[in-house]
Structure 1
Amino acid sequence: MSMIGILLRVTAIELEAFRTDSSLLIEKLNNEEEPNLIDIDKAWAGIIFLIDKQTIYDGPDSILFGRRVIDRKQDLGYGPAYYFIPDQVKESNERILRISEEELRNNYDAKAMMEAEVYPEIWEDEEAGFNYLLSFFKKVQSFYAKASSNNEAIITFLN
């Protein structure tokens, strides 16, 4: 089994509806043509490590997973969905827009990532590992920029 990171852009109204009735989130996710959803494959843990210099378990929040949960009882594959309200999305967007490829490359430390057991533990080939993360980081940057400009919330989960 793989732990795939999923991000979904939603309006503040949709977010409140999902918080009230989490089954509505399942309905939205069952739409295979959902245009506001991206799959960041297994890169989520590496992206967190490059940006926050921590694993998902180390800090209070990460750029991809906050501590606000839609429904603790709802399991979307590997636990519940987390969310960021529009103001948090704007703050995160400002932060990640300032991160350069050079900064990410400087933060890439295959040995440290392997020692920290950063999922999926494929970091020994530094060039391939970095390029894998960079391609998905660019998708995350674009995703956050669009959510921020649309004043949207972001829901994240592992599937």
Structure 2
Amino acid sequence: MSMIGEYLRVTAAELDRAIQDPDWALDLAETVQDAEEETEPAPAEARHFTTHKTWDLLRFLLARVEFPVDVIHGEEPFAEDEDWGYGPPKYLRPERVRQAAKALRAIGYTQLTGGVEPAELTHAEVYPLGWTDPGALEWGRPSYEGLTRFFEAAARADDAMLVWLD
């Protein structure tokens, strides 16, 4: 079983309802995931986004630059229920989504990976391991660039974000 980073854009009203009714939020997340699995919208048009297994690589890289928002795990838990996967789901309010979008846009992936050696990832036990392959850091580029576009679209719409590991 893999650990996968998951995101769902929600309106402010949907965030309020998710906080009050986490089961409703889980149903919403599953409905949106199922619908978008078939249509595969671009990150800027999607309500759901996944970083797949790159979530821990991105966490490691963003921590190195002291990223101001926890875009990998979210910041505020809204459910204790383990039905979401690995640990409780969390959320980012619209103002934190805007801050994250601005910061993601300001840091390109090449800048983010500058000076990082694969051995450093192996030593830090960054999931999913296997960092000895040449070009292993490039594996995270599409996820980072997609995440950036996803957050930018959410910020333009003044959306909040649900975040979880599944």
Query: Normalized against structure 1, the TM-score is what?
Result: 0.89
| Residues in 2 aligned to 1:114 and 1:120: alpha-carbon distance in whole angstroms | 9
Q: Is 1:10 matched up with 2:18?
A: no
Post-superposition shift, 1:114? 0.9
Q: Secondary structure at the match of 1:83?
A: strand
Post-superposition shift, 1:73? 3.1
Runs of 5+ unmatched residues, structure 2: 37-45
Aligned equivalent of 1:108: 116
> Which consecutive aligned stretches of 4+ in structure 1 deviate over 6 angstroms post-superposition?
none
Identity over aligned pairs, percent: 27
Q: Which amino acid aligns with 1:106?
A: G
Match of 1:99 among 100, 104, 107: 107
Aligned equivalent of 2:40: none
Aligned equivalent of 1:46: 57
Post-superposition shift, 1:109? 2.5
Post-superposition shift, 1:101? 3.0
Which is further off, 76-85 or 28-37? 28-37
- 8 Å CA contact retained: 1:6, 1:40: yes
The structure carrying a bigger helix percent of its residues is 2
Computed over aligned residues only, the root mean square deviation of the Cα atoms, in angstroms, reads 2.0
Aligned equivalent of 2:42: none
Residues 83-141 of structure 1: CA distance to partner in whole angstroms, max 9, x if unpaired? 100000011111110012321230532111111111111211141x2221011100100
- Structure 2 counterparts to residues 52-63 of structure 1, below 5 A: 52-53=63-64, 62-63=70-71
Runs of 5+ unmatched residues, structure 1: none
| Residues in 2 aligned to 1:97 and 1:126: alpha-carbon distance in whole angstroms | 26
- 8 Å CA contact retained: 2:8, 2:47: yes
| Residues in 1 aligned to 2:93 and 2:80: alpha-carbon distance in whole angstroms | 17
Query: Normalized against structure 2, the TM-score is what?
Result: 0.85
- 8 Å CA contact retained: 1:4, 1:158: yes
